[in-house]
Amino acid sequence: MSYRITGLDREQFAGLFEMDDAALAEQGAVRLTAAADKGWPCRISLEDAKAGEELILFNYLSHDVTTPYRSAYAIYVRPKALEAAEYVDETPPVFEGRPMAFRAFDNDGMLRRAALASPGHADAKIRELFASDEIAYIHAHNAAHGCFSAKVERA
């Protein structure tokens, strides 16, 4: 069983990068500077921003379905991230060193299974969830803060 993890398409956020702080505030978003090399995960590159890098923090609709599992939460994106990352049969840097929560959905957007992975065990949990034929895709979230990290699909 093979899987693919992709970052978000930068183009959907391009307008945010052009806004000044007042315009961002009107959208409920803020411009921040990473205070450390870890803890500021970009959802485009699927890498943590480095200390001093600029990010935009805003609310993102990550699971746009007409089920009770429709979901939105805060995410970071970096203006420096130029294209969506893609990882096949391996996990991205933002999964490493932090506990992850995986929510596994069927084709109708209904939650069918879930799992927690301690650091270093994300790959095994993804494969375990995809062992069930009813699972169409998985959403990865940072377990502690709850924010959407990436979508995992069968490859």
Domain count, the chain: 1
What radius of gyration do the chain's Cα atoms show?
15
Instruction: Express each pLDDT in 55-77 by its tens digit.
Output: 999 999 999 999 999 999 999 99
Instruction: Express each pLDDT in 96-126 by its tens digit.
Output: 989 999 999 999 999 999 999 999 999 999 9
Q: Tell me the mean pLDDT in the region 32-52.
A: 96
- For the chain, the first-to-last Cα distance in angstroms comes to 8
Tokens of 26: 């009107």
The torsion angles phi and psi of 57, rounded to 5 degrees, stand at -110, 125
- Residue 1 scores a pLDDT above 90: no
Comparing CA positions, the residue from 92, 75, 82, 96 lying closest to residue 32 is: 75
Residue 108, domain extent: 3-154
Angle at 30 between CA 39 and CA 36, to 5 degrees: 25
Report in angstroms the alpha-carbon separations of 95 from 51, 54, 109, 129.
Answer: 18, 21, 23, 16
What percent of the chain has a predicted confidence (pLDDT) above 70?
A: 100
